[in-house]
Amino acid sequence: MSEFEGPSERPAAGPNRRSSSSTPSSLPAWARWVGRALLWLMGGALAGVLTVLLLIGIALSVAYPNLPQVSGLVDYRPKLPMRIYSADGVMLGEYGEERRNFTPLAQVPKVMQDAVLAIEDARFYQHGGVDYKGVLRAGLAQFNESRSQGASTITMQVARNFYLSTEKTFTRKIYEILLALKIESLLSKDQILEIYMNQIFLGQRAHGFAAASEIYFGKPLKDITIAEAAMLAGLPKAPSAYNPIVNPRRATQRQLYIIDRMLENGFITPEQHDAARAQQLKYRAAPEVVVHAEYVAEAARQMIFSQYGEEAYTRGLNVYLTIQSAEQTVAYRSLRKGIMDYERRQVYRGPEAYIDLPANVKDLDARIAEALVEHPDNDELRAAVVIEASPRKVVAVLQSGEALTVTGEGLKPATSGLAEKGNPKTQIRAGAVIRLVKLPKGDWSITQLPEVEGAFVSLDPRTGAVRTMVGGFDHAKSKFNHVTQAWRQPGSSFKPFIYSASLEKGFTPATVVNDAPLFFDAGTTGSQPWEPKNYDGTFDGPMSIRRGLAKSKNMISIRILQAIGPAYAQDWITRFGFDPDKHPAYLTMALGAGSVTPLQMASAYGVFANGGYRINPFLISKITDARGHVLNEAVPQVMDESTRTLPARNAFVMDSLLQEVTRSGTAANAQRTLKRPDVYGKTGTTNDSNDAWFAGFQRSVVGVVWIGYDNPRKLGDRETGGGLSLPVWIDYMQQTLKGVPVEEPSAPEGVVNMGGEWYYEEYTHGSGVSSLGLEEKLPTPPSEEEKKGILDLFKR
């Protein structure tokens, strides 16, 4: 038996039988055709190979010189967002299209590298940029109609992401291969992998695995587990399709496949493989804003943008501010509390909206959730839909589905809305969208979003460093920063600057000025005839300047300004940083009729607080690049004669007068509540109570509060700076001054104390201005007979 014969039966003898030793010419017809086909295929294959080689040669000669320069990869500079940090390292804001934390490869954990290599390019460290085995495997997989095997190496992906379009064409693939070869000739494998790990897009605006770890898991990349690394490694293929938050089922399938691949490639042990597959992943919850510093972060962003332009959002700048996060939170809470306290005294304006509730109870939860999307919670002010309402009880449902019952005191702010015969437009009924707030004892109260606005700013008067900045009630409601952008009348809080000017003209705290009526014609005021009044509508006659400022008597301030001259005062206030054009030289300046911002007022009061030095405020302490190299660092001004703007004795005497305001005057609650004497300041209420101010300080901190409406209107007949803004300042100072020792200024040269009062040396013994306006008498009260005559007239 021939070695080529098989075990089957021999064919029967006959005329068509061929011997096993037959020549090709004697083979059957079908065998001859097979032979010819094989020869043709072999020849065709050889010709094909030659053709492919020729095409590749042509492609190399034509395409290679036209490849883009890849030198940018050698000096790789990824787009890194600008991040704003507080002085204690809390991130307050992030600005830029891409979220990225550049991480050198040495700091990328091996498990993350292994997960990526396992799924994207297991032979990365063996090939030269193109994995020819992978290309062949991918081609065979396509013919076998199997799962796509993806032939793009990590180097090819880097080439594509940086230099090529996303269109899938043969030409683009050729360029991708050529670029990969070029990149491999310039960079090491580790450099290429480092670029890939930081550049690749992974969804949620995240570029690079370090950013993705923070965004998806809320943890630094160094703490990643095998299961988490496998989940992140599945994102490059299609970030939206494999987003674990949006598509958990699909993402998990890919994650498990990657864990299997890690085992197959020897990156993990069987035990690690089983543990990783069993791990339940916990994703980062929606971030809670711990520090409300939106206004201050935006102010910093604007400053950085003015310096760096569009590069500010791509260079990875880290901007460190002067504020402390905990103190910023105190300021934010204090202002919101002050505004909400005011809001509780206002008439209830009615629900924010009304919705139709479904008849089927099963559909109620979904309808409420849908409606409240348009009315998101405003921090502690929770939005809710009423499902039951009566004058004695309101039941409302939050976005979370929790039902809350409001009774008793919690209904009082909305009494008018619960009246059975009340205005239908403001009535609280089923379907009404209302606001609820939790009270200190844990029960709930109806409230409303405030229409009034406010601002709070504090700074260190010794350095100018801004300590806190709250530009409004809520940044989501209004981006307008009232600290830096709101030009408002300062009212009586401006009076100390007029008093300061008078000290250089011979006035002393003991100078007696008459609090009596005044009348001025149009030429004096610059507009129209003017008959000013005191806030309380009364006139108290002669009193000392000290008492006049403490009680905020308008007639006293006007007489002082009239005596020293408006032009002199206008020039004097420039020492505090005020723009003279915004404070025309008329007598109305005495009542704060000009325009200031809260930040200007804080800086100006800082001159009193630091003993007479004009120190410009600053917010940014340091700017570094993505690698931590310092690009710019603030150098605070020094309190020396080059920055002195006010004589030391002027600042000292003014401090004494402002201390009286917080001891016995319109801000007496300050010392009474804080239980310390070293607090100074002045209340301010403008004409018609449109603006309420308090500006005050302790030697280490100046704070200014403003409350008012964006479109100026009356706050209320009884609303004042002392009642509205001072409580905010006190709340802030109660926390800020904890543990700060009492510090009162010592008397400088040139002042003496006589009879318990401070004087400039040259103005003792009556040589200064002893009195003003005493010749003007108060209106004489009507006699009993005149009163009787007036009553008789009314009877008629």
Encoding tokens for residue 634? Answer: 């603030």
* Rounded distance between C-alpha atoms, residue 781 and residue 778, angstroms: 9
Alpha carbons 223 and 545: distance in angstroms, whole number = 67
Tally of CB atoms within 10 A around 781: 7
Q: Is 167 in the active site? A: no
CB 680 within 8 A of CB 704: no
Closest Cα to residue 659, out of 683, 685, 678? 678
Query: How many Cα atoms occupy the beta-carbon half-sphere of 370 within 13 Å?
Result: 11
Q: Copy the structure tokens of residue 570.
A: 């206008």
Residue 573 and residue 539 in contact, taking contact as beta carbons nearer than 8 Å:
no
Amino acid making up residue 357: L
80 contact partners, CB below 8 Å, separation of at least 6: 96, 98, 100, 101, 102, 314, 315, 316, 317, 626
Give backbone dihedrals phi and psi of 382, rounded to 5 degrees, phi first.
-90, 135
- Please, is 114 exposed, middle or buried when counting C-beta atoms within 10 Å of its C-beta (0-12, 13-18, 19+)? buried
* Cα–Cα dist 506/430, whole Å: 69
> 691 pairs with which residues across the strands?
708
Cα-based distances in Å from 458 to 325, 560, 575, 578, 656: 13, 30, 20, 18, 21
760 and 649 Cβ atoms separated by less than 8 Å: yes
Specify whether the CB–CB gap between 233 and 119 falls below 8 A: yes
* CA proximity to 517, closest of 530, 529, 528, 532: 532
Residue 18: both structure tokens together: 């061929």
Distances (CA, A) of 778 to 453, 591, 782: 39, 21, 12
DSSP letter at 215 equals: I
Q: How far is CA 82 from CA 91, 95, 316, 447, 564, in A?
A: 11, 5, 5, 38, 51
From the candidates 152, 492, 552, 725, give the one annotated as an active-site residue. 492
Token output for 480: 């307008």
Q: Are strands 82-85 and 318-321 parallel, antiparallel or unpaired?
A: parallel
Question: How far apart, in whole angstroms, are the C-alpha atoms of residue 619 and residue 212?
Answer: 31
CA-to-CA distance for 128 and 137, rounded, in angstroms?
A: 17
Place of tokens 């004096």: 524
Write the DSSP assignment of 87-117 as a string of letters.
Answer: TTS-EEEEESSSB-----GGGS-HHHHHHHH
Q: With both helix axes pointing from N to C terminus, report the angle between 270-278 and 226-233 in degrees, rounded to the nearest 10.
A: 70
Residue pair 228/217 in contact by the 8 Å Cβ criterion = yes
In the annotation, is 120 catalytic?
yes
Cβ partners under 8 Å of residue 512, min gap 6: 542, 543, 544, 545, 770, 771, 772, 774
Quick one: 490 exposed, middle or buried, by C-beta within 10 A (0-12, 13-18, 19+)? buried
Which residue, chain included where needed, has tokens 């000669």?
61
Maximum C-alpha span of the chain: 162
Residue 536, amino acid? D
| Residue 703 token pair | 């704070």
Please identify every residue annotated as catalytic.
120, 492
